[in-house]
Amino acid sequence: MRELEFDFVIAGGGSAGCVLAARLAAESGASVALLEQGRRDTNRWIHIPATFFKVLQSRDAAVVTSAPDASLNDRAFPVPGGRVLGGGSSVNGMIYMRGQHADYDAWADQHGCSGWDYASVLPVFKRQEKNTRLDNDWHGTAGKLVVADPAPPHPLCQSIIDAGQAAGIPASEDFNGAIQEGVGWYQVTAHAGQRQSAAHCFLKPELGRENLSLLTGFQVQRIRIENRRAKAIEAKDAEGSDWLIRARREIIVTAGSLHSPKILMLSGIGPRDELNRHGIEMCHEADAVGRNYHDHVGTPVTRKLLKKEGLFGADKGLAALRHGFDYFVLGRGLLNSNLLQAGACVDTAGQGRPDVQYNFAPFAPGAPGSPPLPYHALQIHPMTMRPVSRGRVGLTSADPAAAPKLEANALAAEEDLDCLRRGVRLAREMFEASPLREITGAEIWPGPDISSRIGSNSLDDAIRAQARTIYHPAGTCRMGSDSRAVVDTELRVNGIDGLRVADCSIMPALTSGNTNAPTMMIADRAADFILAG
């Protein structure tokens, strides 16, 4: 077994790991190692904004598929994620969404996470951000993360925005400002034809530092714990060689909501029954590890376009050649777009804050886990914003190479199913409003035979068949001030010294919207805590 030693060892080179490693290396003077199971982000499809769907079909993404889910009529629930430097920020749709002010206030007031209220996290969002348009109380312009308006704006997205306003949704100029509610253009982490991933914006400018080591192709086997202190990471490299990577000061796990709890459990930190089942010696009993799994769930309402105005075929034949010429030679055109350019956040339940997010796009999504459908179409995609359903992540075996066991329970709570019912109804209203009613034809999903009228049951099975992840798994290493929380409010693992978790798994409850921005904020706060200590 080969050995290395550093002050800090970070397990997981995704959005959180890149932010954390960059700050610790730049500001602490200590030696930092960042371990990533995947490879460097050399895949050109990562960096061209419009080709993110190709990345999700490449070796740079991996899928964890749930056990048959009773809430989906026993259908499995596949959850893809990045397995490459930059993690989710290298494979996602690049929507920049922080969530609602009330989300963070609830973390503090309802979940015992003092110091995580909105007033406390807003300065972190602002200092990370380099916004190309907005400079006000809510936004920053001097950070490393470039946040921009989508380019070039697709005219069909403008048509959906107009229809949303005709259906009664107020216009929004900023989903991350004073209020979230409204319909309009997103801001995105893509600019000048380049995806603005955590690897690109935060990590790469610091890679020349002698005190920062990037170790790709390293799969974490377990954390070695001695006398209730995390001392080292056991890992295998891409050739299968064994490594022991010692940490003089701390180990920080940033492997995401599916793999961070897996690493803890393989290391003997987790529920007694789970560890006993797989013959893993317990270091610290922590029943909450792997629990509290939840995700945003969506069902895309889709209609065919009457004319060939959508994106079908844009990556084939002469159209692909034209777009490639525009991008590589002229620096313009469709490939600069993140495709998911516009959306809405709507209070469909009348509770005073949005509960459904809509993504708009000029293409037809296939069934969950399948490629887009082969015709010109529009989608208005409703998604739950604050899911009530909870699942669990466990182990399939004690083999670190095995995928985690996922029990998604994606729509187990009636509240989540009802949220999607309301979301589908409003999406259909938007399609019937001008100008969409003049440019769209047959409904693909739910389809003309499915009623969404209140009191009708025909929609429920259609939702269960269509429901899909929005790529936002969270909560499996819950933060809190209670004794059952996995980490405390400074992200230290309860019961073990020298160990933290700092990614979206620590969220006690999902933020209302996309999770990449909150995940980077969490990592930045972890750096604050470590540097202060």
The catalytic site residues sit at: 472
Place of tokens 């022991």: 244
In sequence order, which ranges of 385-457 are alpha helices (DSSP H)? 414-432, 436-439
Largest interatomic CA distance in the chain:
70
The answer, yes or no, to whether the previous bond of 372 is cis (omega within 30 of 0) is no
- Spatial distance between the Cα atoms of 161 and 170, rounded to a whole number of angstroms: 10
Inter-residue long-range contacts of 347-353, CB under 8 Å, 24+ positions, other chains counted: 347/181, 348/419, 348/422, 348/423, 348/426, 349/419, 349/422, 353/100, 353/102, 353/180, 353/181, 353/512
The answer, yes or no, to whether the previous bond of 473 is cis (omega within 30 of 0) is no
* Contact partners, residue 75, CB within 8 Å, separation at least 6: 68, 69, 464, 465
Distances (CA, A) of 142 to 85, 146, 480: 24, 9, 32
Q: Are 23 and 522 in contact (CB under 8 A)?
A: no
Q: Closest Cα to residue 356, out of 383, 381, 380, 379?
A: 383
Q: Which two tokens stand for residue 36?
A: 């990533």
Q: Which two tokens stand for residue 276?
A: 């006993």
Q: Are 363 and 311 in contact (CB under 8 A)?
A: yes
Q: Are 498 and 491 in contact (CB under 8 A)?
A: no
User: 379: number of CA atoms within 13 Å, CB side?
Assistant: 24
Q: Which two tokens stand for residue 172?
A: 């929004």
Residue spans of beta strands (DSSP E) within 154-238? 182-185, 190-191, 194-195, 212-216, 219-226, 229-236
In sequence order, which ranges of 38-133 are alpha helices (DSSP H)? 44-47, 52-55, 88-91, 101-109, 118-128
| Summary count for the chain: helices (H), strands (E) | 15, 26
In sequence order, which ranges of 215-360 are alpha helices (DSSP H)? 256-266, 272-277, 317-325
- Spatial distance between the Cα atoms of 24 and 77, rounded to a whole number of angstroms: 36
- Spatial distance between the Cα atoms of 338 and 514, rounded to a whole number of angstroms: 14
- Spatial distance between the Cα atoms of 500 and 490, rounded to a whole number of angstroms: 8
